[in-house]
Amino acid sequence: MIGAGLAGSEAAWQVASAGVPVRLVEMRPVHRSPAHHSGEFGELVCSNSFGALSADRAAGLLQEELRRLGSLVIATADAHAVPAGGALAVDRGRYGAALTAALEQHPLVTVERREHTVLPAEGEIAVLATGPLTSEPLAEQLRAFTGRADCHFFDAASPIVEGDSIDMAVAFRASRYDKGDADYINCPMDREQYLAFRDALLTAEQAEVKDFDRDSATFFEGCLPIEELARRGEDTMRYGPLKPIGLWDGRWGDVNDRDVRRARRAYAVVQLRQEDRDGRLWNLVGFQTNLRWGEQKRVLRLIPGLADAEFVRFGVMHRNTFLEAPQLLDPSLQFRRRPSLLAAGQITGTEGYAAAVAGGWLAGTNAARLVRGRPPLTLPRTTMIGALTHFIAEAPSDRFQPMPPNFGLLPELPDRIRDKRRRYGAYRDRALADLTATLAGAAA
Ligand SMILES: Cc1cc2nc3c(=O)[nH]c(=O)nc-3n(C[C@H](O)[C@H](O)[C@H](O)COP(=O)(O)OP(=O)(O)OC[C@H]3O[C@@H](n4cnc5c(N)ncnc54)[C@H](O)[C@@H]3O)c2cc1C
């Protein structure tokens, strides 16, 4: 097991719990990462929250699935939870000490505190769980192994919203100059709306940028945050991602009529591009941003058509090593080219603490199954773990970006439920029932 972060700790525990000896290699505290502060396992690098607790929220459902799967990390978090208004937040010190002790004291776990610099050899059953800040010698090996120099090192991702929450009475589907299919959802603005939106961007509160991110960001001129484009001039966004040219809503009238065109054409247009195979998640094109998450919600809802948008992920700009998983991994988290090697956590392109634990559970479980000569497990797409692992293995690979748990990843319910709470409750019930059935089958 390489890396004792959230994913590696969970994976090591699952291997040992299956009665298989495991070596857990962690570079901290001998070799420090730019964001971690301690030598403890499963350190929470930033917030102390695993997300919403209730199982009719996406992060909460993932936690509940993990609880039922016997996750060490979630059990430790539950044991050291602090009141956090409906979220699973922990006393960081107690949680970290308990998790580290549980692993160090397990008779089948051998801990090695050193930087691992070579990829495991062919046939050696191993899990790579070195996270978004994988140390450079290993990252270099990974680039050589995957043959992909574009293993991402800086994540400048735009926010993603649920397609259902876009107001299509305002937005419209079209491609620029009607080329190809109407692949984009377009949110048109008039001059007044554009200027108000720019003002809001300019005055919104920024997230704190860490030193190591500032260094990486200087190499990223081609991917400027939207608020920086706004700052560069009144029209800069209109000549960049908000370019209105060639975009026309048929409801505005005949595009070939010059008077109609003059009267109705948009002053600026925000475009959204499909993120998943089924078109349930949409990405705001060119909207990588450093604004605080709460501010993103407030400001981006000023965009016509997005007033009630439900965000499944906010924009981020930070250093983040992640694999081009759709090209490389199976939903069992094995590398297609080398099935004895598995990957888990943020490095596979999932996002967030609970998602990292989930990947660790699956990779650890499958590593133990491989040792025992049993076929690897995949989980149903109707569960949050299954949906995430299938997503990273099967997402359109030309624009793969890390994905947090969200209900947009789950297959539609057989009957449409309009009320959001009831709909999410139905997703939860189906997920937990299917998980139980799969586990019963796997044990048999
Ligand atoms: C700055 C930052 C802030 C974040 N904040 C949040 C947040 O608030 N909430 C949230 O849900 N998600 C957050 N994330 C995203 C993500 O959930 C976390 O990064 C999470 O810790 C990922 O879990 P992991 O197990 O994949 O990686 P990690 O928890 O980072 O674990 C990887 C482990 O591998 C070790 N390692 C690396 N290279 C080597 C090597 N060569 N040899 C041996 N060991 C090695 C590291 O020391 C580390 O312990 C943040 C990410 C970053 C970068």
Task: Kindly give the number of the ligand 1 atom that is closest to the alpha carbon of 33.
Answer: 47
The CATH class of the 160-315 domain is mainly beta
Among 46, 57, 134, the mutation site with the greatest number of ligand 1 atoms within 8 A of its Cβ is: 46
Is 153 exposed, middle or buried, given 0-12, 13-18 or 19+ CB atoms closer than 10 A?
middle
For residue 6, which amino acid is it? Answer: L
CB-based contacts of 439: which residues, under 8 Å, 6+ apart? 68, 69
Question: In angstroms, rounded to a whole number, what is the distance separating the alpha carbons of residues 334 and 366?
Answer: 9
**7 CB near ligand 1 (under 6 Å):** yes
Q: Which residue has the higher pLDDT, 64 or 85?
A: 64
- Return the domain boundaries, the chain: 6-151+323-443, 160-315
**47 CB near ligand 1 (under 6 Å):** yes
Q: Is a pLDDT exceeding 70 seen at residue 221? A: no
**28 CB near ligand 1 (under 6 Å):** yes
> Packing angle between helix 6-17 and helix 92-105, nearest 10 degrees?
40
The residue written with tokens 């040219």 in the block is 245
Q: Same topology for domains 6-151+323-443 and 160-315, yes or no?
A: no
* Average pLDDT score over residue span 35-46: 88
Q: How far is the CA of 244 from the centre of ligand 1 (A)?
A: 39
Q: With a threshold of 0.85, does the pTM exceed it?
A: no
* Average pLDDT score over residue span 185-207: 95
pLDDT exceeding 70 applies to what percent of the chain?
Answer: 94
pLDDT in tens, 386-413: 999 999 999 987 778 889 999 999 999 9
Q: Output phi, psi for 262, to 5 deg.
A: -60, -45
**164 CB near ligand 1 (under 6 Å):** no
Radius of gyration of the chain (CA): 23
* Average pLDDT score over residue span 49-69: 95
pLDDT in tens, 346-369: 999 999 999 999 999 999 999 999
Q: Which residue has the higher pLDDT, 398 or 132?
A: 132
DSSP for 357-380, written as a single string:
HHHHHHHHHHHHHHHTTPPPP---
**404 CB near ligand 1 (under 6 Å):** no
pLDDT confidence of residue 211: 54
Q: How far is the CA of 6 from the centre of ligand 1 (A)?
A: 7
CATH code that applies to domain 6-151+323-443:
3.50.50.60
Among 30, 44, 45, 292, the mutation site with the greatest number of ligand 1 atoms within 8 A of its Cβ is: 45
**152 CB near ligand 1 (under 6 Å):** no
Among 66, 318, 353, the mutation site with the greatest number of ligand 1 atoms within 8 A of its Cβ is: 353
